[in-house]
Amino acid sequence: MRITKVETIRLEQSPADAAAGVRRERNLLWVRVHTDEGHVGLGETYYGARTVEAAVHELFSPLLIGRDPLEIERHWTNMFRLADHFGYGGAETRAISAVDIALWDIFGQAVGRPIYELLGGACRRRIPVYDTGGGPNYPDDPVPYVEELLDRGVTAMKVGAYPVAHEGYGYELTREELERIITPIAKIADAFGDRMGIAVDGHGFWGLPAAMKLVRMLEPFPILWFEEMISARDATAHLELQRSTRVPICGAERLVTRYAFADFVEKRALEIVMPDLVWTGGISEVKKIVVLAETHQLPVCPHDCTGPVNLFACAHICMNAPNAWMMETSRAFHEDWYPQLVTSNVVLENGCLLAPEGPGLGTRLREEVLMRPDATVRVTDTASQHYMGWRQ
């Protein structure tokens, strides 16, 4: 079997979304890897779609065309060696992530098995989920929404703890900001006690002193973890933050590859490991990060608040990983958005996500997505000799 072409699909904004003022799709990029046996692997990444599209076609597609798609580790190494030569973070690693997912999807299709079985089999067939609310724009009364989550068996949620706009660059925490962050959390805790666990996401916004003040103020509430309260630039600062609170520190979607995670994990600067599969290197790399975390007896909760393929890929990792704890989902995305993009959706049942069924990922991109007027489809179908140094 040989790779015949690599295809990318990105969307700008559908007329319906434009009318509704929604701009959620323009940062998603899908990668489809085609083979001469008719298999089409699907991958995905998020953010800077145009830039990542260029990396897929100009850097990595020439390394793949004409090669065996099942040599996944070789392809990952070749792509990463090229990216690492010029500095591997950002668009290059996102492109590798999407391609890697697509190659695993082909592997599953070729042997007729789901990806988690190819990773070593299932440690579980379902995993608890938590619901993420995204940014800091809470409703005045979050109680009805939390009641609906509990009725569905969901007993954990994530809320944002950062301002929409701020002139202090995160190095000061005003009384108004503190009140805005605490008020909805207090309302949830007052109404439900510890029936609803709350994860708090700082999106890497705060400086260390402000973050330490904020975590102290939030400690009395039923907090599951503090996530990226400071930027993931410095493991020592994270360790100081971890030592300042009894609540676990979680991170980090902005850590790229096992090489970045290793420093944080080995210094015990994290108690919960949260790789973003479509940023940090795909299924191949997250499997290695999971093993790194397990070596240090740490749980893993993959980061996922983007597209449907990420959710499927994370589900396969979590079915296989013994130290997977929970999966992130967004009720609005899962129910309203993902069905417009993919042929099948993950199944949520009584607060758990069930193992995907079918070969490979278990879903496909809807063909009508490619027909949308705002879709840009780009194809590379020839190899290049310019990168032979990385085509081992």
Percent of the chain with pLDDT over 70: 92
Q: What are phi and psi of 88, to 5 degrees?
A: -85, -10
Q: What was the pLDDT predicted at 388? A: 44
**Does 14 score more than 90 pLDDT?**
no
Integer Cα distance of 100 and 106 in angstroms = 10
pLDDT tens readout for residues 177-224: 899 899 999 999 999 999 999 999 999 999 999 999 999 999 999 999
Cα gap 310→276, rounded to integer Å: 9
Domains of the chain listed by start with CATH number: 3-112+366-390 (3.30.390.10), 117-354 (3.20.20.120)
Among 31-35, 122-126, 162-166, the range scoring the smallest mean pLDDT is 162-166
Other C-beta atoms closer than 10 Å to the C-beta of 294 total: 16
Can you tell me the mean pLDDT for 60-68? 96
pLDDT digits (tens, 9 = 90+) for 72-105: 999 999 999 999 988 888 999 999 999 999 999 9
Residue 163, pLDDT score: 72
The model's pLDDT over 283-340, given as tens digits with 9 standing for 90+, comes to 999 999 999 999 999 999 999 989 999 999 999 999 999 999 999 999 989 999 999 9
Residues 275 and 290: their CA atoms lie apart, in Å, by 9
Active site residues: 203, 303
Would you say 121 and 84 are in contact if contact means Cβ atoms under 8 Å apart? no
The DSSP result for 233-296, as a single string, is: T-HHHHHHHHHT-SSPEEE-TT--HHHHHHHHHHTT--SEE--BHHHHTHHHHHHHHHHHHHHT
What type of residue is 164? Answer: V
pLDDT above 90 (res 68): yes
User: Is 258:293 a contact under the CB 8 Å cutoff?
Assistant: no
Mean pLDDT calculated for residue range 52-60: 96
Long-range contacts of 379-383 (CB under 8 A, 24+ apart): 379/5, 379/6, 379/7, 380/5, 380/6, 380/56, 380/57, 380/61, 380/62, 380/65, 381/4, 381/5, 381/6, 381/65, 382/62, 382/65, 383/62, 383/63, 383/64, 383/65, 383/66
Buried b / exposed e over 141-164, threshold 16 CB at 10 Å, is ebeebbeebeeeebbbbbbbbbbe
Please write the tens of the pLDDT for every residue from 216-257. Answer: 999 999 999 999 999 998 999 999 999 999 999 999 899 999
d(CA 189, CA 81): 48
At residue 392, the pLDDT reads: 53
Is the preceding peptide bond at 252 cis, omega within 30 degrees of 0? yes
- Within 10 Å of residue 186's Cβ, how many Cβ atoms? 14
Do 197 and 240 touch, CB atoms closer than 8 A?
no
Q: In this predicted structure, what is the pLDDT of residue 162? A: 81
